[in-house]
Amino acid sequence: MAEISIFEDEAFSVTSLLATINEEHPIPGQIAASGLFTEEGSTTVTQQIEKDGDVLELVAAAPRGAPGQVVIGSKRELIPFNCVHLPQEFTIMADEIQGIRAFGSRTELQGVQEVVNARANKARLQLDLTHEYQRIGAIKGQVLDKDGSVLVDLFQRFGIKQLKLKMDFGSADVSVRAGEALDMQEDVLGNVTGTGAIAWCGKNFWADLISDQSVKETYLGHEAAAALRGDRRQAFEFAGVLWIRYRGKIGGVPFVGDDHAYLVPDGVPGLFKTVFAPANYMETVNTLGVPYYTKLEPMKYGKGVSGEAQSNPLHMGSRPRANILLTR
């Protein structure tokens, strides 16, 4: 029969739990699955972001007293951003493991690990959902908290404005409007080239798009036409843009507004980045941050263990004005 002292085993150390919570999982969310964001770790919780015109870049950390990154010209400025702290807590009571016995090939340790892993995985799924929500925020230019308050406002902090274009469905040719949006995007990117463009579309915007006469023939003639007639949310290419119906939402609130779409460059190196700061544990001070952390500690009177899972991300786009807001 498993006892609470089993948690003293090395299998439940911070290092072992980190390996568990950071192992490969099915990728949740369309933005995460697209690979649009590149990820890297940082040893600090505050990231220095350099603005040069419309371009934002991370500044590399250096030891105290070491030479800093060279900043050329008066237009550049450094602005600090704090990584967002996302903690979650959970408990595993002694009663939850007291019935786990060793029989056959199933040892007590393996049984308790399953209980811990299940709780940590649930916490990770909620963190994954939050990351997806914040990645969309980075595309929009505003990363929001759960309550809708603004955590990071790239446009306000850097004194730049979002570019917008009304599509005028039903009265304007969608291909012409899409071309205008791509031209706006190209002007922002300058001599930086990508592989294409993706439009992440809200529900009502998508309905207008696929109903538009200038789109219908291409849409219905798409190689996946049979699938499209069955599921009218399938992505398709038109006018140099890959149009995708974005479906993420929570509590009935969509991550992408129903009447909006965001035209995003694709294949531009370093366009979107996620930086992970280390957790606020003694074991992780001054270490390179990883996406997820989890830790256990005994509860009072040995009645169980309390656990925490956390992530400390900063999601950002290096060229916020290249993400064009399209409206109906």
Q: What is the pLDDT of residues 209-238, one digit of tens each?
A: 988 887 877 666 665 555 455 566 788 888
Give the separation between CA 219 and CA 232, rounded to whole angstroms.
Answer: 10
Q: Looking at the domain assignment, is residue 53 inside a domain? A: yes
Cβ contact 322:265 at 8 Å: yes
Kindly state the average pLDDT of the residues 43-52.
85
Q: Assign residue 29 a region (left: φ > 0; alpha: ψ between -120 and 50; beta: otherwise).
A: left
Residue 156 lies in a domain: no
184 and 125 part of one domain: no
98 and 177 co-located in one domain: no
Is the pLDDT at 300 greater than 70? The verdict is yes
Q: What pLDDT score does 117 carry? A: 84
The verdict on 115 and 55 lying in the same domain is yes
66 and 135 share one domain: yes
Bridge-partner residues for 81, per DSSP? Answer: 47
Claim to verify: residue 168 and residue 261 sit in the same structural domain: yes
Q: How many domains does the chain have?
A: 2
pLDDT at 150: 92
Q: Do the Cβ atoms of 327 and 312 come closer than 8 Å?
A: no
CA–CA gap between residue 18 and residue 127 (Å, rounded)? 14
Residue 157 maps to a domain: no
> Is residue 305 located within the same domain as residue 216?
no
Residues 93 and 30 in one domain: yes
CB 6 within 8 A of CB 106: no
- What CA–CA distance (Å, rounded) separates 173 from 146? 38
pLDDT cut 90: percent of the chain above it = 41
Predicted confidence band at 73 (pLDDT cuts at 50, 70, 90)? very low
102: Cβ contacts below 8 Å, ≥ 6 apart: 108, 111
Distance CA 147, CA 149 (A): 6
Residue 34: its H or E element = helix 30-34
Torsion from C-alpha of 80, 83, 84, 89, nearest 10 degrees: -150
Would you say 175 and 182 are in contact if contact means Cβ atoms under 8 Å apart? no
166 and 279 part of one domain: no
Asked whether residue 14 is domain-assigned, the answer is: yes
Residue pair 127/288 in contact (Cβ under 8 Å)? The answer is no
Can you give the CATH number for the domain in which 172 is found? 3.30.1930.10
Q: Which pTM value belongs to this model? A: 0.85
Q: Which has more pLDDT, 252 or 309?
A: 309
Answer yes or no: is pLDDT of 155 > 60. Answer: yes
226/295 same-domain check: no
**Residue span of the structural domain in which 64 resides:** 4-151+274-314
Does 12 lie in the same domain as 132? yes
* H-helix segments, 141-247: 154-158, 174-189, 203-211, 213-220, 225-230
Return the structure tokens found at 209: 């798009």
pLDDT band at 104 (very low <50, low <70, confident <90, very high): very low
193-206: pLDDT as tens digits: 888 999 999 999 99
Tens digits of per-residue pLDDT, 234-267?
A: 888 889 999 999 988 887 889 999 999 999 999 8
CA–CA separation, 215 and 176 (whole Å):
11
| Pair (247, 297) in one structural domain | no
Model confidence at 105: pLDDT above 50? no
80-99 per-position pLDDT tens digit: 889 999 999 999 888 777 76
Name 245's bridge partners. Answer: 201
Report pLDDT for 269: 87
End-to-end CA distance of the chain: 63
Q: Considering Cα of 151, then 153, then 156, then 158, what sign does the dihedral take?
A: positive
Q: Judge if 225 and 90 occupy the same domain.
A: no
Instruction: Read off the CATH number of the domain in which 134 is found.
Output: 3.15.30
174-196 mean pLDDT: 91
- Strand 196-201 relative to strand 241-245: parallel, antiparallel, unpaired? parallel
